Amino acid sequence: MNKLNNVIFFTGIIFASASLFCADYESSLYRDYIQSSGKSFYNSNYISFRGGWDSSNDSIDAPTLYIDNDSSKTAEQKKYNIESASFSNLQSLYVQSGANAVISNSSLNIGNKLSVNSVHYYGKFASSLTLKNCNTTLNANNLSEVRGGANMTVEGGSFTVLEGGSYKQSFTVSQGSYLTFKNTQVDFSGATLSTRTNSSYSETSAVINIDNSVFTTGYVDMYGYVSSGALPVLNITNGSNVTMSLANTYSAYNWSTGEFYEETQYMRGGTVNVSGDGSVLNLNSALIEEETNPDGQVYTSAVNISDGGKVVVAGDVKLTTVELFENSVLEADNVEAENLLITEGANLMLGEGGSVNFSRLDIVLTSLTLQGGESIDLESILGDDTSVVLSALQEDEVFNLQDSDGNIFECAISSDGLAHVGAQVPEPASYAILFGVFSILYVLKRRKN
């Protein structure tokens, strides 16, 4: 009997010891709130959290991780605070159904897909994912996305997208959703970053924010046509340095000739805002608006540069709207816009022999108060290259001139080269709202070779 007891006791020690080296949690589904530290979570298929999680120094080993929200009508939004986690064998990460997740001070190597979406049985909550001071690497083997009114923020650390498949996959931001990079280093060269339409969020733009970050990518596909609702927005702010292309040249096949040829797709709608001292957008392509789609999709595109922002374009600019605000710089070979807004103090720097063309011109002054009937020598305001802008105006063609009080007057250039101030435009407050109340000075310069 003693021998048998010793065997049982010894066997118990073995099992107890083994349990110390096994996973603390070996389940695929966790419905209840969890608070853990230094624990291990393991499953060979997937792990799904639905009740919230306060985690520190935990280990997660599963190919797919779902950070979810309970689907019942009365469920409160579930919050996930995951600090200093160790992720192993992670192929896909889903934050969905209204979960609010913050992952901080961790390294994530995602081998397939990253999805942040707000698909919820009752549409009650918007999902959000914040990667704070994390180093994240995504192999773009599959479509990654921020959609359904969700938002994703990368703050601090780094975010790198590698080309995982035989061709570049897309990382999409749909209407109603936000993707923000703040104080971080971003390399998106392994995938196409794109915006997409979503009829359920037609009144809200797809927004990409690059805030005080270094951002490099090959191609950003700005996509949103007029009838789809709110157009996409790309904001580059607070000293960000961004290098990208807003045009994509690809190989197409002509079935009638049996030959391949190159075709370029340009910016398909949306607005690019560049603002803040030191904020620079370097475009490796022309900044041109795509022509109307054969299916009737009408694209309108704009670039707004303000508060020390700078845009350098390798080629021409041809958009619906170009607005140059205070201390801004636009460098391009040629500029063509249906609506062009310029003032003293900003720099429009053209290539040798470059030209400016527009359908509507608005010039904003901050140093003068105008009265109808007077004449203005614009060369004293616009600088030595005044003729580059004004040459696009026919004699007696009307343009708008806004003075320092926000009053807008119709003006025309006559044969004497002076701008003759005519009648005040009705409802100047409406125009101020439309174009923004900016104190902007404009100087036109030619770009150096």
**How many residues are there in the chain?**
449
Please give the pLDDT value at position 25.
76
Q: Does the pLDDT of residue 258 top 90, yes or no?
A: no
Please give the pLDDT value at position 254.
72
Report the alpha-carbon distance of residue 298 to residue 288 in Å, rounded. 14
Burial class (CB in 10 A: 0-12, 13-18, 19+), 312: middle
pLDDT tens, position by position, 364-386: 876 778 777 788 777 665 554 45
Q: Does the pLDDT of residue 271 top 60, yes or no?
A: yes
Report the alpha-carbon distance of residue 419 to residue 203 in Å, rounded. 41
List the single range of 63-67, 70-74, 255-259, 412-416 with lowest mean pLDDT.
70-74
Please give the pLDDT value at position 333.
93
Higher per-residue confidence, 1 vs 326: 326
Question: Parallel, antiparallel, or unpaired: how do β-strands 86-88 and 310-313 relate?
Answer: unpaired
Higher per-residue confidence, 357 vs 1: 357
DSSP secondary structure string for all residues of 86-149: EEES--EEEE-TT-EEEEES-EEEESSEEEEE---TT-----EEEEES-EEEEE-SS-EEEETT
Please give the pLDDT value at position 389.
63
Burial class (CB in 10 A: 0-12, 13-18, 19+), 32: exposed
Element (H, E) at 207: strand 207-211
Report the alpha-carbon distance of residue 271 to residue 304 in Å, rounded. 8
Of 353, 356, 337, 367, the C-alpha closest to 440 is 367
The band of 23, judged by pLDDT with boundaries at 50, 70 and 90, is low
Higher per-residue confidence, 315 vs 253: 315
C-alpha distances (whole Å) from 343 to each of 140, 307, 402, 448 are: 44, 13, 9, 21
Please give the pLDDT value at position 380.
63
Express as a percent the part of the chain with pLDDT over 90.
Answer: 55
Cα angle, residue 176 at apex, residues 173 and 178 outer, rounded to 5°: 50
The band of 425, judged by pLDDT with boundaries at 50, 70 and 90, is confident
Element (H, E) at 272: strand 270-275
Report the alpha-carbon distance of residue 235 to residue 49 in Å, rounded. 34
Please give the pLDDT value at position 392.
64
pLDDT tens, position by position, 288-323: 999 988 788 999 999 999 999 999 999 999 999 999
Q: Does the pLDDT of residue 13 top 80, yes or no?
A: no
pLDDT tens, position by position, 320-368: 999 998 789 999 999 999 999 887 777 888 888 888 888 888 888 767 7
Domain locations along the chain: 25-362
Q: Does the pLDDT of residue 6 top 80, yes or no?
A: no
List the single range of 28-42, 336-350, 408-422 with lowest mean pLDDT.
408-422
- Quick one: DSSP state of residue 267? B
Report the alpha-carbon distance of residue 345 to residue 381 in Å, rounded. 9
Higher per-residue confidence, 18 vs 108: 108
Cα angle, residue 130 at apex, residues 125 and 131 outer, rounded to 5°: 155
Average pLDDT over residues 178-202: 94
CB 430 within 8 A of CB 406: no
SS3 284: coil
pLDDT tens, position by position, 386-401: 555 666 665 556 788 8
The pLDDT mean for the chain works out to 84
**Radius of gyration, CA atoms only, the chain:** 28
- The tokens for 77 are 């939004």
Higher per-residue confidence, 275 vs 296: 275
Please give the pLDDT value at position 373.
78
The band of 115, judged by pLDDT with boundaries at 50, 70 and 90, is very high
Please give the pLDDT value at position 52.
94
Higher per-residue confidence, 14 vs 250: 250
CB count within 10 Å of CB 241 equals 16
Higher per-residue confidence, 261 vs 429: 261
